Structure 1
Amino acid sequence: MDGRPGWHDMGMMRLVAQPATVPSGQVTLRVVNAGALPHEVVVLPLRAGQTAGARAVGAVGRVSEAGSLGEASRTCGAGTGDGILPRTTGWTTLTLQPGRYELLCNNPGHYAAGMYTELDVVR
């Protein structure tokens, strides 16, 4: 897999940020799991020249979460948990500086199946 959104043995996977650009400061990410599997959203900064979907996937089908600013992975709640169950919502509130961020699902195989997107934060 080349890491672009597409079909995986688990089915079509994607992550969409709406809106894709937000003002800096306190940002609440509300994550609606419209899929059939548990998911999460991890927030990682993107360096200059780095694109969403280009992180190295390790042997267990996950990317490094080093530098994570937070995540939404609790069913019907804020912050960290065991995953957002299908047809439910989770959220997290972060303070984000202007820049580019990658939002991704880091459950095994989900990133490689296309569950990532870019979030742009502006002044």
Structure 2
Amino acid sequence: MTAGDMGQGMMGGGPGGYGMRMMRLAAHPAVVPSGVTSLRVLNTGALTHEVIVLPLPPGQGIGERPTGPHGKIDEAGSLGEASRSCGAGTGDGIAPGATAWTTLTLPPGRYELVCNLPGHYMAGMYTELDVTGK
């Protein structure tokens, strides 16, 4: 998957100073079989990013989670994250040009992959990952 942004010149849009939909996450593939899944994230942008895996409740779409005053969503229920430059698991973020990864065991369902650095979710850094039965 890739994480990207429009670069350092982005302004406006609330906490974090990023305009709406100026950032993106893309999952390739967007549908995977249940079981052990490795997510590899390449940061193609100019800013630091991360990817957090959250289950999507029935009837909820991606990008619909409420954000708090610091431009972040509630991470309760997270199944894991890729946020360590050139490494697996949790860290201080994925530096521009770096890759991070995490390996999870995912049951069938819908998941929202998000960057939860301040303002990034509101700027469009989310995507859906669908996990099917084997």
Query: Match of 1:32?
Result: 42
Tell me, which stretches of 5 or more residues in structure 1 are unaligned? 1-5
Aligned residues: 118
Deviations 1:3-47 (A, max 9, x none): xxx986246200000000000000000000000000000000001
Query: Match of 1:87?
Result: 97
Query: Match of 2:63?
Result: 53
Pick the aligned partner of 1:18 from 15, 28, 34.
28
The alignment yields a C-alpha RMSD, in angstroms, of: 1.5
TM-score normalized by the length of structure 1: 0.92
Deviations 1:69-90 (A, max 9, x none): 0000000000000000000100
Pick the aligned partner of 1:116 from 87, 105, 126.
126
Taking the aligned partners of 1:104 and 1:21, their CA distance within structure 2 comes to 16
The one-letter amino acid of 2:73's match is: V
The one-letter amino acid of 2:83's match is: S
Query: Match of 2:72?
Result: 62
Deviations 1:43-98 (A, max 9, x none): 00001100010000000110000000000000000000000000010000000000
Pick the aligned partner of 2:114 from 85, 92, 104.
104
Identity of counterpart residues, as a percentage?
A: 68
TM-score normalized by the length of structure 2: 0.85
Deviation at 1:109, TM superposition (A): 0.2
Tell me, which stretches of 5 or more residues in structure 2 are unaligned? 12-17
Q: Taking CA–CA contacts closer than 8 Å with sequence separation of 6 or more, which of the two structures ends up with the larger relative contact order?
A: 1
Taking the aligned partners of 2:78 and 2:118, their CA distance within structure 1 comes to 17
Taking the aligned partners of 1:83 and 1:67, their CA distance within structure 2 comes to 20
